[in-house]
Amino acid sequence: MEPVLLANIHRSDSHTLSGYESTGGYNAYRKVLAEMSPDDLKDLVKESGLRGRGGAGFPTGLKWTFLPKNHPGPIYFCLNADESEPGTFNNRILMEEDPHQVLEGLALSCYATGAETAYFYIRYEYPLCYKRLTQALEEMYAKGLLGKNILGSGFNLDIYLHRGAAAYICGEETGLIESLEGKRAWPRIKPPFPAIEGAFRKPTVVNNVETAACVPHIVNRGVAWFRSMGVQPDPNNPRDPGSFGPKLYCLSGHIEKPGCYEAPLGITVNELIQEYGGGMLDGRRPKAAIPGGISMGLLTADEFDCPLDFSGPGRYGCLGLGTAAVVVMDETVSMVDYLHNSARFFAHESCGQCTPCREGTSWSLKMLDRIQAGRGRLIDLDLLLEIGDTIGIIPGTTICGLADGAAWPLKNAIRKFRGEFEDFIKQTNPDGYAETSPVPALHEIHGH
């Protein structure tokens, strides 16, 4: 397909205002401010079927309509640029290479929702993005695209960059809000939802970077164009609103050409690997793939016909499309190592607020530590599955979805590759893998 979101990233000046404007940048912003009301724009985005690109896939226009009508304000807009899901880097590419596209989308989103202050919450680990966005914002103010009475429209908008401090949970929308307010990023119990009571206890919209970047294109090219790409709603599933528009896929792992690729929603894992990624690294055979960031679970090589739309991975026993970050593993990868890596991540990043998540993630890591150290028992696999089923139930037993994200790799890896785990345990612990053997204390295990 013709790239849309990545159309200009090959240009050396794609990160500058002049470079952006030379390709039609800010035309949508100018048009909207001159010709459309905020409600017109809100309706346009709603009709387009744009779904949030941050992981949950919630319809963006619908989210905007949750704001209270005729609220005296202020209404805040938070742009979630805290992408930290392993495998995911699409927002980084957009912010580094085409920051004005993101900022135009953010400004339009603020206009539609009536927000006059936007906080661009950016993860600390992206210093180049921070630098380029700082420059881009200066250019926007200098050109009168931000500030008071923008382009004579009466619309006021200030955008502030706010740097995170290295915590995955800040990508969860209420964790982000708490962090923005200067507190530890503990997600809030909902309701109230941010649209009613968000940042600084005012109505707030939180959207993802890629979601915002889609908005100018919907204005420029129209709803029909946007809906012409992707996957229609599933007639057998009344809860499936379809998956429309272009999507950025992050491809990494054992791939010849890892990278960020733009494709319509619904492309299969196989197509992504072969047509965009240049095939498997060194021609080795694939073993598994993560369909959309580490929290989504696992597809076996037999399941690579899975379509990457918002419903596809769910039909293959995964949590969902998530961030559309596909991590491919070849046949040399040990699933024990993969699952240990995943468990280590979630145990480290759990905010610790909810007991099932805090204890479940750390216990699964301790068990995988022990299995990896050659002291596993077959019963451990059922215990791990029990942890997975206990901490990751939707609707959850925890305030946010981190526990669900931690559960899916556990459930998928053990259910889909159980034989490999059993073989590993029997080989590394031949005398002690029987289910009745006592569990050694961690300090008794060499290296722990």
Partner 1 sequence: MSTGDRILTDEMIAEIKEFFPRYPSRQAVTLPALHIVNEKLRHVPLQAVVEIAQLLDLAPAEVQDTLSFYGMFPQDKPHGRTRAWVCRSISCALRGGDELLEHMCDEAGIEPGQTTPDGSLTLEFAECLGACEHAPCILANEELHKSVTKEEATKLLGTFK
Is 394 an interacting residue with respect to partner 1 (CB under 8 A)? Answer: no
From candidates 87, 114, 292, 360, binder to partner 1 by CB under 8 A: 87
Q: What is the Cα–Cα distance from 448 to 443, expressed in whole angstroms?
A: 6
Instruction: Give residues 8-67 in contact with partner 1 (rule: CB under 8 A).
Output: none
Instruction: Give residues 131-160 in contact with partner 1 (rule: CB under 8 A).
Output: 158, 160
Binding mask 288-317 for partner 1 (x = CB under 8 A): --x---x-----------------------
What is the H or E stretch that residue 325 is in? strand 325-330
Work out how close the CB of 240 gets to partner 1 at its nearest, in angstroms, rounded to a whole number. Answer: 29
Q: What is the Cα–Cα distance from 204 to 195, expressed in whole angstroms?
A: 5
Is residue 368 within 8 A of residue 339, CB to CB? The reply is yes
Would you give the distance in Å from CA 165 to the centre of its chain?
18
Non-local CB neighbours of 136 within 8 Å, separated by 6+ positions: 15, 16, 17, 99, 100, 103
From candidates 14, 48, 84, 372, binder to partner 1 by CB under 8 A: 84
Is 221 an interacting residue with respect to partner 1 (CB under 8 A)? Answer: no
Which CB, 66 or 160, lies closer to partner 1?
160
Instruction: Give residues 173-192 in contact with partner 1 (rule: CB under 8 A).
Output: 179-185
Peptide bond into 191 cis (omega under 30): yes
How many residues bind partner 1, per CB under 8 A?
Answer: 56
* DSSP calls for 127-189: HHHHHHHHHHHHHHHHTTSSBSSGGGSS--BEEEEEE--S-GGGGSHHHHHHHHTTS--PPPP
Work out how close the CB of 127 gets to partner 1 at its nearest, in angstroms, rounded to a whole number. Answer: 4
Which window, 31-39, 251-259, 311-319, 413-421, contacts partner 1 (CB under 8 A)? 251-259
Work out how close the CB of 53 gets to partner 1 at its nearest, in angstroms, rounded to a whole number. Answer: 15
Which CB, 351 or 400, lies closer to partner 1?
351
Q: What is the Cα–Cα distance from 234 to 256, expressed in whole angstroms?
A: 34
Q: Which of 54, 52, 56 is nearest to 404 (CA)?
A: 56
Binding site for partner 1 (CB under 8 A): 74, 83-89, 91-92, 123-128, 158, 160, 162-168, 179-185, 200, 250-254, 258-260, 290, 294, 325, 327, 329, 333, 337-338, 341-342, 344-345, 348-349, 351
